[in-house]
């Protein structure tokens, strides 16, 4: 992980977490699932005025009254406590009672009328012979409040079927205006500014809307494990707060730049100024956005004014971009490294070199005869696999170093390499790993066997050097580096299995025939590019490594 000395911002401890529980009460209607929501008080200390699912803090009494609840054999003690808290809060806030008589019959209106919302809940239920129906409450998700917020909760989102013949009545103190709403309608009303909901509620409704029935939701929760767990992160986008879950592209960058969750980092893509990621890492995105380049090619500067800088992937020969890169380094560029020879990565090397005095060497691997004509590249010096490129300087605390380890990673291109910043656990992945898409493997210079082998090599290097983040040539920083690599390999192998099935079903087909079936999950406009990676899979399948025996 990055050295604390290289973090951009002083760190602070997030607010402590408080245990809580929330329950989504669901019912089936001819129009689909509906969920019960209420509006929080405008003076509430957390999410005032927001429409929410009923719930609240977990009390000690919730954990001490397990004997008064039904329980599934697979339901853990923690999940039982959470279910009991959700049942209690549903009654206190909305007068909804998830409880059963000894004969298994549900609580009645008389039971509800006999209970006082402000008196101890479990003892009242026990006095009437009621057991809390915790066995009918399931874990859907696990949310942890964002690190930047002043009040934080560790809260499971639970689901339960709304009891028949009960009508929710808000307590008019904490909760108001109970409403049944279809998830899709709640989201649409929120977008129209008519129904304020907060980030975890939005993301939960987005997933809930795809279920056809309450039974389908409950069946999805049968594993007793949350379908997702998230502690979101926030940054600025278009001048507004924007929040992201772990699987979303900006999350890793926010984790790198503001690990403690402070709302300080701007995510808008721009080409005029370098974006500091650490004190010793800057990103400057070239003004070449497009279908193949996403927001543009990321050039990186590693180093600081005391050590000088190594420039990684100077990008296309765009004079304004090259000058901005040179100025961001204060002219102190000690070396220029190209991860590979493609036209959006290496042509800027010589113009950048020409601006510097003395001229720094251009390092990398030469393009191979298999490369396309516009990818011709010859470095001043060839880099060796596992070679170290070191910057050193004097700081008040002593010598400071920034060391890049070279890793030869053919696959996307025969001369592709990645760079690992050892002191801070960062991997500069070029085009081998991208954020938001998978890289194209374009034979003959691209090779699927080599690509997969290189992924294994990168995983081993990440394990050996504690790499937590990947800095790609296109897109935001990726976190959880080894999980990203594992997912990429899994994706490629799943695609290959699909390609093999298509080939076996239509052995006389053409690449055009096969791509329409093997890539039927991507838009047809992607197929011309996908066909190049399809060819790489086909060539791999036809080798002895994966070809099935007759």
Could you state, in order of their start, the residue ranges of all structural domains in the chain? 17-227, 269-489, 491-541
On the question of a cis peptide bond just before residue 444, with omega within 30 degrees of 0, the verdict is yes
Please tell me the pTM assigned to this model.
0.93
CA-wise closest residue to 522 among 498, 546, 487: 498
DSSP H or E stretch at residue 472? strand 469-472
Q: Is residue 370 classed exposed, middle or buried when 0-12, 13-18 and 19+ CB atoms within 10 A define those classes? A: middle
Q: What is the DSSP letter of 294?
A: B
Give the whole-angstrom CA distance, residue 276 versus residue 257: 8
Structure tokens at 115: 């209970």
Classified as helix, coil or strand, 237 is strand
Give the whole-angstrom CA distance, residue 380 versus residue 471: 25
CATH of domain 269-489: 3.60.15.10
Give the whole-angstrom CA distance, residue 125 versus residue 132: 8
Give the whole-angstrom CA distance, residue 11 versus residue 422: 22
Res 543: pLDDT:
85
Q: What angle do CA 437, 2, 313 make, to 5 degrees?
A: 45
Res 549: pLDDT:
42
Helix orientation angle between 481-505 and 511-518, rounded to the nearest 10 degrees: 130
Q: Pick left, alpha or beta for residue 476 (phi over 0 → left; psi -120 to 50 → alpha; otherwise beta).
A: beta
Please identify which residue in the block is written with the tokens 């402000």.
118
Across the chain, which has 550 residues, the per-10-residue mean pLDDT values are 95 95 97 95 82 93 93 96 96 95 94 93 94 97 96 96 93 86 97 95 97 97 96 97 96 98 96 97 97 95 97 97 98 98 97 97 97 93 98 86 98 98 98 95 96 98 98 98 97 96 95 96 94 96 60
Classified as helix, coil or strand, 496 is helix
Regarding beta strands 99-100 and 55-57, do their DSSP bridges make them parallel or antiparallel, or are they unpaired? unpaired
Res 544: pLDDT:
54
Res 537: pLDDT:
96
Q: What angle do CA 84, 90, 94 make, to 5 degrees?
A: 160
Q: Is the dihedral of CA 234, 404, 366, 533 positive or negative?
A: negative
Bridge partners (DSSP) listed for residue 308: 304
On the question of a cis peptide bond just before residue 358, with omega within 30 degrees of 0, the verdict is yes
Residues written for the chain: 550
- Second CATH level (architecture) for the domain 17-227: Alpha-Beta Complex (3.90)
What beta strand segments (E) does 365-441 contain? 381-382, 388-395, 398-408, 417-421, 426-430
Bridge partners (DSSP) listed for residue 282: 276, 301
* Alpha carbon distance, N-terminus to C-terminus of the chain: 49
Q: Is the dihedral of CA 178, 179, 184, 186 positive or negative?
A: negative
Q: Pick left, alpha or beta for residue 109 (phi over 0 → left; psi -120 to 50 → alpha; otherwise beta).
A: alpha
Res 13: pLDDT:
95
Hey, do 17-227 and 269-489 end up sharing a CATH topology, with the first three levels equal? Answer: no
Res 550: pLDDT:
37
Task: Measure CA 531 to chain center.
Answer: 28
């Amino acid at each position: 992980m990055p050295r604390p000395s290289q973090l951009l911002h002083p760190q602070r401890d997030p607010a402590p977490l408080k245990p809580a529980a929330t329950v989504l009460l669901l019912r089936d209607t001819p129009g689909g699932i509906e969920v019960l929501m209420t509006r929080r008080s405008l003076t509430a200390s957390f999410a005032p005025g927001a429409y929410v699912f009923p719930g609240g803090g977990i009390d000690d009494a919730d954990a001490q009254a397990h004997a008064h609840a039904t329980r599934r054999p697979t339901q853990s003690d923690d999940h039982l406590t959470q279910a009991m808290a959700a049942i209690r809060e549903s009654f206190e806030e909305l007068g909804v009672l998830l409880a059963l008589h000894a004969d298994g019959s549900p609580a009645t209106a008389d039971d509800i009328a006999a209970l006082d919302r402000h008196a101890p809940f479990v003892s009242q239920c026990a006095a009437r012979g009621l057991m809390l129906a915790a066995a009918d409450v399931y874990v859907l998700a696990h949310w942890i409040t964002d690190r930047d917020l002043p009040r934080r909760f560790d809260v499971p989102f639970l689901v339960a079927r709304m009891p028949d013949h009960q009508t929710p009545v808000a307590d008019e103190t904490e909760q108001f205006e109970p409403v049944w709403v279809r998830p899709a309608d709640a989201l649409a009303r929120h977008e129209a500014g008519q129904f304020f909901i907060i980030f975890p509620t939005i993301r939960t409704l987005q997933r809930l809307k795809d279920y056809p029935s309450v039974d389908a939701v409950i069946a999805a929760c049968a594993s007793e494990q949350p379908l997702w767990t998230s502690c979101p992160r926030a940054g600025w986008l278009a001048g507004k707060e924007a929040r992201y879950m772990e699987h979303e592209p900006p999350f890793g960058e926010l984790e790198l730049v503001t690990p403690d969750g402070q709302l300080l980092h701007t995510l808008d893509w721009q080409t005029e100024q370098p974006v500091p990621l650490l004190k010793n890492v800057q990103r400057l995105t070239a003004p070449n956005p497009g279908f193949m380049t996403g927001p543009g090619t990321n050039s990186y500067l590693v180093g600081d004014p005391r050590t000088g800088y190594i420039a990684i992937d100077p990008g296309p020969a765009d004079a304004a971009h090259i000058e901005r890169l040179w100025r961001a380094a204060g002219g102190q560029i000690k070396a220029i490294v190209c991860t590979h020879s493609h036209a959006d990565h290496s042509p800027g090397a010589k113009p950048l070199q020409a601006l510097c005095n003395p001229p720094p060497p251009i390092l990398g691997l030469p393009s191979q005869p298999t490369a396309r004509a516009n990818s011709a590249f010859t470095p001043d010096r060839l880099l060796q696999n596992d070679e170290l490129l070191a910057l050193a300087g004097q700081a008040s605390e002593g010598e400071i170093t920034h060391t890049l380890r070279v890793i030869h990673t053919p696959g996307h291109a025969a001369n592709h390499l990645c760079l690992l910043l050892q002191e801070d656990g960062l991997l500069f992945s070029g085009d081998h790993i991208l954020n938001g898409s998978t890289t194209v493997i374009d034979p003959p210079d691209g090779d699927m066997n080599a690509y997969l082998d290189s992924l294994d090599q990168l995983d081993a290097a990440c394990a050996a050097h504690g790499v937590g983040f990947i800095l790609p040539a296109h897109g935001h920083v990726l976190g959880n580096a080894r999980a990203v690599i594992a997912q990429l390999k899994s994706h490629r192998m799943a695609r290959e299995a699909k390609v093999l099935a298509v080939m076996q079903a239509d052995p006389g087909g053409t690449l055009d025939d096969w791509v329409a079936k093997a890539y039927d999950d991507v838009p047809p406009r992607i197929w011309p590019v996908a066909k190049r990676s399809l060819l790489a899979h086909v060539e791999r399948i036809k080798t002895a490594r994966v070809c099935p025996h007759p």
